[in-house]
Structure 1
Amino acid sequence: MAGQTVAEAVGEQLAREGAQVVFGLMGSGNLVVTNALVAGGARFFAARHENGAVGMADGYARTTGSVGFASVHQGPGLTNTLTALTEAAKARTPLVVLAGETPAAALSSNFRIDQHDLVESVGAAAERVHSAATARADATRAHLRAQRERRPVVLMLPIDIQAQPAPPEDPAAAEARAVVALPPAPNPAALDAVAARLAAAERPVVLGGRGAVVAEAGPALRRLAEQNGALLATSAVAHGLFSGDSYNIGISGGFASPLAAELLPQADLILAFGATLNHWTTRHGALIGPDAEVIHIDLDPAVATVVGDAAATADALLARASDSRPGWRTEALAQRIASERWNDVPFDDAPQPGTIDPRTLSNALAARLPEDVAIAVDSGHFTGWPAMHLHVANARSWLFANAFQAVGLGLGMAIGAAVARGPERVTVAALGDGGTFLSLQELETAARLQLRLLVVVYDDHAYGAEVHHFAPLGVDVAPAQFPPADLAAIAQALGVRGVTVESAADLDAALAGWLGAGAGSGPLLLDAKVDPTIAAAWLEEAFRAG
């Protein structure tokens, strides 16, 4: 295009390569490139804070399986993204974050910081538009790195270079640049060894993690497990990968059901596909029996027994199998799995007056939410209850914002998912009151966009993890506690309908009309006053991990 600037060329290039949605907050350093993305066909969604914008891009990417895009100003615009950027880096979410940058010669600029090292320090990759001549290639390189390395890439656009005229594009060069590398094929000898071990196993478990979700490996892993009589389980981030399977025992780790905690240590072979089996997933090793063999299938050579894509490796192992074997798979065990999930485990439902037991709240939500719901879960003391009691139809509908264990990211992630899913389907943000206060401004974003979003706040008016951990030790926990706040009224002030929930009947009344209203009804916030005396069972493990 005649007269294009570098900023316009970069935006056009990324739109051409598939950027359909971009989240951001406008400043002088990113306005032109963002407008160019929109002119190229992308839709722009304005957040109220840069941390929220990157969280939204993260949620969009996890839901769709595509690269997420965000756009922010230089300096403070970038520093405001760091918590969400770290979460995305640790979760291996592919993002491209466009960030303005001060000119190299602007030594006294108020915005001047070392953006490159700042970005790299939290696990993201730093890229830069180096010149007008290389602008399109620089943009493509950042996009491809996000895809290939599955992590956030921050593409910095120096202000002085943005304004320079961009040279005409070479179509042949553009076509040559846009080549995405395929994952490596698993080593045949290694596959033969794993197939032999699997054939000899009597009680195998196939456990899927984030890598299996990314590889869309659920169907292949189900076939492999059925062939070999294996049980199925997931890490917390891969919840939903095996939904509906009769031999899926759910999440392994601190959120494991009593039945799963009984069965997993009996396994003689654990095949972990795209899961590192860290202390969270194994309960510090307690869920792996002393005689069990563990085999990791992963693209990361640092952790892998077999380096390979989860789906391709599962199919290769299935091709090496001979006769199918029953293994664990009996009708009696299937009946136990169906009747001994967390929703079936009894508990003493006797909350303090004016409060609701968080397990009652979660079970009631599970019974009322539509089957195709998506759920984003923030970090905090409450985190396990939605993970244990709520269900999703597939792993792309489960967004577990806990890779960095940072409170306050769940709402932004849920907004990104809601944008991806459209106005016909319900998305839930499960938050604590602490995380809600850290992201309050994005309630206005949800209201402005009229999203089909249900915000459920597990409100114990405290940082509950610290209260329940330190109070029994005799430590003063008053600094972690707050006076009760009317979050329903605060939501109303920001344009979101808010309802206080103190019982299952309150929940029924609030949800009946909202769920029935369908698309266009806008978001709803439920301020659920959960009993602050109820401590999460997984809390001891969480503090043990540090």
Structure 2
Amino acid sequence: MTTKTVGEALVDGLKARGVSCVFGIPGVHTVELYRGLAASAIRHVTPRHEQGAGFMADGYARVSGQPGVAFVITGPGLTNTLTPMAQARADSVPVLVVSGVNASTTLGKGLGHLHELPDQHALAKTVALTSEHVARPEELEPALDRAFTPFAIARPGPTHIQIPLDVTGTASLNGISRPAEVQAAPDPVKIAEAAKRLSAAGKVVILTGGGAKTAGQHLQALAEQLDAPVVQTVNARGLMHGHPLTVPASPSLQAVRKLIEDADCVLALGTELGPTDYDMYATGSMAAMPGLIRVDICVGQLARREAELAIQGNADVAIAALLDAMPGTAKQSEGSTRAEHTRTAALEEIGPDYRQQVEVLNAMRAAVPNALMVGDSTQPIYAGNLYYDHDRAGGWFNAATGYGALGYGIPAAIGAAIADPSAHVVCIAGDGGAQFSLPEVMVAVDESLPVTFVIWNNRGYGEIASSMKAVDVTVVGCDPTPPDFAATAQSFGIPYSRARMTPQAVAAALQECAARGTPSILEIDVTGPAPG
């Protein structure tokens, strides 16, 4: 019987835990990982940069619901992946980064070895929820268990495993993985108390975050039972699309803040109540939340903002338990009227420029229903984060909140397309942000993915330039010259289209791109002459 190496055992361990795709760039320090990968049924996708690998893993995880996995080399491979790990941590996305590290006898000695860092393990720990160093073969299985545990029972985020060069190729030991830990059910006493308070309240408002994005059916039933408007943060968009009780608008807007403050009981579900959602304009304060009841999977998160009642648990499970504890008769509290008034006021509040961009987003949604819209930090994404009602739960996500990493959109859209081959994916990136990760488009070509890369071309960092002007700072550094995107598409061997920035023109062009079922670039030229 052939003895497997630690690298091969690692791949077996990933496969046993449900991993079916790995994003990575092979290098001399990960050769032994690929010995196991080639013989497995795990799909390998090759990005053009390790940052792309991390963002692809992020997009894959958000759509599939399974951890996204990246293989990277020692040193620069790991440091290039720290930015995606930080974005995943900010947005609670389950991503596992597996890296090599220099031989055990050299670590921390500064001997000048290839890809050497003073302390790679310590560096990864600053971002990862857990970083595991596998010093001996028998440590592999426990390390995998610890890396996967946060994905199952806690607030997810990035984890990391590193294996020294002198360990990956050695003979493995037959490890037995411990059974997966089971998430504890919400405290029934607290659920009963929450149900009592919500039933007694006259005007309930529900706040939803990314932790509730899989709870759509139960959430709608609870909202209708309580006649409560449902405010969605960016990562919750798509919940209750078009419903009379939905409020697909940022809780940073004054109109939404008023809705929240006028309530007599606020129920916050799977939302960290962070400033990039609740204080986007950096006023230093968030809306007062009367009678706040919080449900969150993370104990630490619950401790960061005081609530009258805090319940630890999965949002979907907790909502189902609340419904079971509620009386049978639905409330009548003019919830639909309150929601409609807030939607109208919020849309007015964002101003004419952003309203125009929201109109374009609405037209894009109508042109390609049920698409995954993945964004970078660019003006239509900022507009949509303030106000936009997507038609697919979990189908609107971007890097403009939380960590706010530029270059996210293109690789994350590729990861999303791999996670759901049946969906059309629309990537929305500015010309500036697109230049962070433009080569990754070739991955979509290699993998034959139906992604339309929509480039919002205002010939620079338009949002930053506006911010500088708003505080009387002379605009400097905001005008990087964009490439010729038509020529770029031609060099990639993919179709190219260009459209005016009007709802009708963008929708027609997007529909044509989507119908091809292939990668394509659609340029929206915001500043130039309309195409003839």
TM-score (norm 2): 0.87
Identical positions, percent: 28
Whether the 8 Å contact between 1:24 and 1:70 is mirrored in structure 2 is yes
Superimposed CA distance per residue, residues 166-191 of structure 1 (whole angstroms, 9 cap, x where no aligned partner): 23x25xx33xx1x2222233333333
Partner of 1:379: 377
Q: Distance in 2 between matches of 1:100 and 1:134?
A: 15
Q: Distance in 2 between matches of 1:9 and 1:288?
A: 51
Q: Distance in 1 between matches of 2:196 and 2:40?
A: 52
Matched, 1:166 2:162: no
Q: Distance in 2 between matches of 1:148 and 1:194?
A: 22
Whether the 8 Å contact between 1:57 and 1:413 is mirrored in structure 2 is yes
- Which residue of the other structure, out of 104, 107, 116, is the alignment partner of 1:112? 116
1:118 deviates by 1.0
Partner of 1:540: none
1:282 deviates by 3.2
Q: 1:361 to 1:344 in 2, by over 3 A?
A: farther
Matched, 1:481 2:479: yes
1:481 deviates by 1.8
Partner of 1:70: 70
1:348 deviates by 7.6
Whether the 8 Å contact between 1:378 and 1:408 is mirrored in structure 2 is yes
Q: Distance in 2 between matches of 1:137 and 1:262?
A: 49
Considering only aligned residues, what root-mean-square deviation do their CA atoms show, in Å? 2.9
Superimposed CA distance per residue, residues 132-156 of structure 1 (whole angstroms, 9 cap, x where no aligned partner): 2333443343233444441211110
Whether the 8 Å contact between 1:128 and 1:156 is mirrored in structure 2 is yes
The SS at the match of 1:311 is helix
> Unpaired segments of 5 or more residues in structure 1?
351-356, 533-546
The SS at the match of 2:137 is coil
Matched, 1:154 2:160: yes
Matched, 1:311 2:310: no
Q: Distance in 1 between matches of 2:39 and 2:485?
A: 39
Q: Distance in 2 between matches of 1:42 and 1:457?
A: 32
1:499 deviates by 2.4
Matched, 1:32 2:36: no
Q: Distance in 2 between matches of 1:426 and 1:372?
A: 8
Q: Distance in 2 between matches of 1:204 and 1:147?
A: 31
1:8 deviates by 1.2
User: 1:32-431 to 2 correspondence within 5 Å?
Assistant: 32-106=32-106, 107=109, 108=111, 109-113=113-117, 114-149=119-154, 150-167=156-173, 169=174, 173-174=176-177, 177=178, 179-213=179-213, 216-254=214-252, 260=256, 263-283=259-279, 288=287, 292-304=290-302, 305-329=310-334, 342=347, 347=352, 358-369=357-368, 371-387=369-385, 391-401=389-399, 402-422=401-421, 424-431=422-429
Give the paired residue count. 510
Partner of 1:539: none
Q: Distance in 2 between matches of 1:349 and 1:410?
A: 20
Whether the 8 Å contact between 2:425 and 2:452 is mirrored in structure 1 is yes
Whether the 8 Å contact between 2:354 and 2:383 is mirrored in structure 1 is no
Superimposed CA distance per residue, residues 391-425 of structure 1 (whole angstroms, 9 cap, x where no aligned partner): 43332322222320111111111100001111x42
The SS at the match of 2:148 is helix
Q: Distance in 1 between matches of 2:493 and 2:182?
A: 46
1:427 deviates by 0.5
Q: Distance in 1 between matches of 2:260 and 2:63?
A: 29
Kindly provide the amino acid, as one letter, of the partner of residue 326 in structure 2: A
Q: 1:427 to 1:342 in 2, by over 3 A?
A: farther
User: 1:7-18 to 2 correspondence within 5 Å?
Assistant: 7-18=7-18
Kindly provide the amino acid, as one letter, of the partner of residue 493 in structure 2: G
Kindly provide the amino acid, as one letter, of the partner of residue 266 in structure 1: D
1:316 deviates by 2.3
Q: 1:303 to 1:160 in 2, by over 3 A?
A: closer
Partner of 1:436: 434
Whether the 8 Å contact between 1:408 and 1:438 is mirrored in structure 2 is yes
Whether the 8 Å contact between 2:371 and 2:424 is mirrored in structure 1 is yes
Whether the 8 Å contact between 2:230 and 2:246 is mirrored in structure 1 is yes
Partner of 1:542: none
Q: Distance in 2 between matches of 1:364 and 1:451?
A: 23
1:466 deviates by 2.2
Partner of 2:306: none
Deviation larger for 461-470 or 33-42: 33-42
The SS at the match of 1:251 is coil
Kindly provide the amino acid, as one letter, of the partner of residue 168 in structure 2: Q
Kindly provide the amino acid, as one letter, of the partner of residue 294 in structure 1: L
Q: 1:314 to 1:513 in 2, by over 3 A?
A: closer
The SS at the match of 1:479 is coil
The SS at the match of 1:478 is coil
Partner of 1:535: none
1:512 deviates by 4.2
Q: Distance in 1 between matches of 2:413 and 2:398?
A: 10
Q: Distance in 1 between matches of 2:407 and 2:416?
A: 16
1:445 deviates by 1.2
1:128 deviates by 2.1
1:295 deviates by 1.6
Q: Distance in 1 between matches of 2:92 and 2:320?
A: 24
Q: Distance in 2 between matches of 1:198 and 1:2?
A: 62
